[in-house]
A and B are shown apart, each in its own frame.
Chain A
Amino acid sequence: MFKWFVTWFHRFGSPPHFYRLAGRWLPWLTTLFVVTVIAGLYGGLVLAPADYQQGESFRIIYVHVPAAWMSMFIYVVMAFCGIVILVWRMKMAEIVLSCSAPIGASFTFLALVTGSLWGKPMWGTYWVWDARLTSELILLFLYLGVIGLYGAIDDKRVAARAVAILSIVGVVNIPIIHFSVEWWNSLHQGPTVTKFDKPSIDIRMLIPLLLMALAFQIYYVIALFQAARAAILQRERNSRWVEELVKP
């Protein structure tokens, strides 16, 4: 098992292999994404019953919650890549980190905007400086910091090491976001699904939510693969295999 993992890791670590493998997987992933997103949206917007308190407005969770989960998940992926970059100096980790940052920033932005739009009718305000909202905003700034820092340094191998450190340090914010609603009094409600108790959501509402979470996860892989393939071609533009690939 471990041996298999190591082989797989090394194969994925080689840019030409990654390029080909990602290219082969993309059509399948896209199909899977379309199926899950249609099932999730239909289940969430049509089949799921309205909430006893919020009525139809609760349906924003089908975008808001998966986006918020992804915003944290992608950051953890980036921090993991950061460790691989600093310890093993792997090129593919550099590419995955730098390509993940804009995707993660978009998910964070989406979570903040959808939450704000829901907050006005439900809470009575677009924005408050409570612990959950503030720490999620800091996450957006961390993402923007990674994007900016990576763009500011011309030598991409040096840039990757700089953003690796930023990503690793910033990961401290992730547990703060998750536990902010438990450690402090906040306006944002506590966790519904991601806790040890039984999820406090009706099963007919939960299934579409998990489907949407899966769809967002697949979307991240699709977006990452596409961005990474482009980044690989650019980085390896002087190598033989790219020359052969783009030969007319």
Chain B
Amino acid sequence: MTPARKKRLSLILLMVVGVAVGVGFALNALNENIMFFFSPADIKAGKAPANKDFRVGGMVVEGTVKRPGDGLTVEFDLTDNDSVVTVKYTGILPDLFREGQGIIANGKLDADGEFIAQEVLAKHDENYMPPEVMEAMKKSGQPMPGMDKKGI
């Protein structure tokens, strides 16, 4: 490589490193805004904003889905295997909503610490398999997929 080319190459590498460091700092500073949702543990720890809309993500606890007043209103508990928050929602749920499923709800906390949601989104996991494999896994008592470190 000629000296001129070497110089240009090192300038380019310097530029890339500079931009990467800059973007890294910016993203780090904006970390909280990029977080798409808070976990029930974050809410318990008081990290979630009060009097403001935010999203909470977690797994719907088995056996807690209730429909009081048999309308469109649903009530269920959400967990991250650490803390639990009760969510109330009125509206149509997505296809993937079920007990044991990871979901994200958008809304705010009321005075009793219950989460009043305006929107419920189902979070999909990264596992793809046919139903019979899932059945076999359930029967053999293998740990269920679809739960990463946070339980979502």
Contact = CB atoms under 8 A, between A and B. Distances in A.
B12 A87 contact: yes
- Name A's interface SS: loop
Given A168-B16, A189-B126, A122 B133 contact: no
Interface in A20-73: 49-54, 58, 61
Contacts of A165: 15
A51 B16 contact: no
Contacts of B134: 52
A168 B15 CA distance: 9
A191 to B, nearest CB: 6
Interface stretch (B43-51, B65-73, B93-101, B107-115): B93-101
Given A168-B12, A168-B15, A176-B23, A189 B125 contact: yes
Nearest to B101: A53
B40 interface: no
Interface in B2-21: 5, 8-9, 12, 15-16, 19-20
A186 B104 CA distance: 10
Interface in A128-181: 128, 130-131, 165, 168-169, 171-172, 176
A51 B95 contact: no
A200 B8 contact: no
B36 A87 contact: no
A121 interface: yes
Contacts of B19: 169, 172
Contact of A202 (B15, B130, B148): B130
A131 B134 CA distance: 30
A204 interface: yes
B120 interface: yes
Bin the interface of chain A by size. Answer: 35 or more
Contact of B129 (A51, A86, A191): A51
B131 A130 contact: no
Question: Which of A58, A190, A200 has the most chain B CB atoms closer than 10 A to its own CB?
Answer: A200
A16 B23 CA distance: 41
B127 interface: yes
B94 A122 contact: yes
B35 interface: yes
A123 to B, nearest CB: 5
Contacts of B122: 122-124
A126 to B, nearest CB: 11
Nearest to B57: A185
Contacts of A54: 96, 124
Question: Which of A121, A172, A205 has the most chain B CB atoms closer than 10 A to its own CB?
Answer: A172
Question: Which of B97, B104, B150 has the most chain A CB atoms closer than 10 A to its own CB?
Answer: B104
A88 interface: yes
Given A168-B16, A185-B37, A86 B130 contact: no
A187 B105 CA distance: 11
A140 B122 CA distance: 26
Question: Which of A88, A122, A124, A190 has the most chain B CB atoms closer than 10 A to its own CB?
Answer: A124
A196 interface: no
Question: Which of A168, A187, A191, A192 has the most chain B CB atoms closer than 10 A to its own CB?
Answer: A187
10 contacts: A51-B130, A52-B133, A86-B8, A122-B94, A124-B122, A128-B36, A169-B19, A172-B23, A184-B35, A189-B123
